Structure 1
Amino acid sequence: MKGKILVVDDDNIIIRSCKGVLEPMGYDVSGTINPREALDLIRDNNYDLLITDMIMPGIDGFELIKRTKELKPDTTVIAMTGYSIKETIKDTLEYGIMDYLQKPFSPNILADTVDRVTNLARKLKSQLAITEEDDADGTHKIEAVNALIKQYKTVPGSLITVLSKTQEIIGYLPPAIQRLIAKGLRIPVSEVHSVVSFYPCYTMKVRGRHNIRVCIGAACYAKKADSIVQKLCNQLHFDEDNVTDDKKFSYELVRCLGACASAPVIEVDHDTHGTVDPDKITDILKDYN
């Protein structure tokens, strides 16, 4: 079983649709149209994931998520909403929501979102849980972040500094770390998230020690940028997060690196490489070993 999921929506069709998509994928899916019944189910069961509508009679999605976090803090949450996600995100990040499904959503979007969120939640729990069972390196990193927050908690306008130094320590800024920083600096989680989302220097994804950015904009794509991606994947064997097993390299696709005249272009860390021959990728990366 890939995970235990509870779907809450006042529309039974949504619940049946979610079951129809997720159960064949290996998930154990329960559903209810009654948020109060949902709380009883959450109290009596250990769900890996709660998928809930935000607008419901009686208890709305916000209240349901809040009570769920009180009962079972480790429950991961995906919110379903008929409104624009941009209008909703700042209000709901405070509740620990990991992702959103904007109605109407397709079966493929549902499947991809649930798989991605459950995989990420699993990794966050194993990598970032602050317990005595944490490995020494993970504990050291969390302690370093806590010390950093303590150092800057009374310094006005210190968020950028804390985010930058935290990313240097951990390598990325996942939701759990954003909440830790927000709590320590006594600012809204939405403020932290908006800064992380706005500046391209920050990432919410795991990265290797050297990050490779491959441009797939029009000019680069016309000159076989896809061949560069294929060569990278064949030679470095990235995992599902686009990171190598030894955590040495990661890669991401971008729309423009501002060097169209030198297409195809890649960027390794802060170094730009133009007119890249896919067959010479190995030679370029030797300088970063």
Structure 2
Amino acid sequence: MHFTSCINRPPYEAASGFLQVTSGCSHASCAFCSYFKDTRFNKSPMEEIEADIKEIPDYFGAPERIFLQGADGFAADYDVLMKAAELIHKYVPSVKTIGGYARIDNFRNKTVEQLKNMKAAGFAEPYIGVESGDDNILKMVNKGYDAAFAREQMEKLTAAGMSFIANFLNGLGGACYGLAHAQKTAKIYEGMDISMIEVSSLTLVPKTILYRRREKGEFAEAGEHERLEEMQEFIRCLKNKTVFLSEHISVPFRAKANLPEDKEELINGIQKIMDNLPEEKMQAHRQMAANYF
């Protein structure tokens, strides 16, 4: 099978089969990101995709889900994705759903009707790296879109009945900006069909723009307790019925909670961490986490 870079997937996709439809990242300019920098963005030819689909049973057995590879596999053209789904169901009949990482602008050229067709073909719960709903932050980290555009694309997905997974990148605004970031991101998610919100926390690593800015004194990271206060505010402001997931190594606690039912318990649990875990110990965890990127 063709995998231009190493396989990249969330922990909960460990049982999925993997299929490369794009390689690299269609944007590759986010100021905080170090992934896929060694690979130019490319769309896989249909002949290669079909050949790889035929090999899926040899590598992954009979998976119920396929997780598309590439930083944003949903950047593939609509016709290619639909043909890939047809071939997946032909050669790997065990597959029930197809997911993958996505940028929100992967859906710019896909209509609501097309998204409905994709859902009917098995596409479900793409993992979308929205990161933030704050225009100041989106511009600062060069995400390539603003909050209004992100909201428009999420509304299309919701109108098509395609629920999705979104994330919140805790601490992305830096020191003294966490509460505004939390409030604006929770607001942009309001009313959207988000099946799960996964949180991670900004961890600066060499070769990223934000790392260099910090070294020059142009960017100040949020402290660890400040980040947890931001996390609490984000949870407090969320109005979605969704699952909150914290399992990323960059976050100093593990949690899976149903919202809004578990909201107060989750907020109180984070408070206990803040009350009992010193700033220095959490900073040491942050440094350890940086070694994994």
Q: With the length of structure 2 as denominator, give the TM-score of the two structures.
A: 0.31
Q: Indicate the structure (1 or 2) with the bigger Cα radius of gyration.
A: 1
Which structure ranks higher in relative contact order (CA pairs < 8 Å, sequence separation ≥ 6)? 2
Normalised TM-score (structure 1): 0.31
From the two aligned structures, give the one with the greater helix fraction. 1
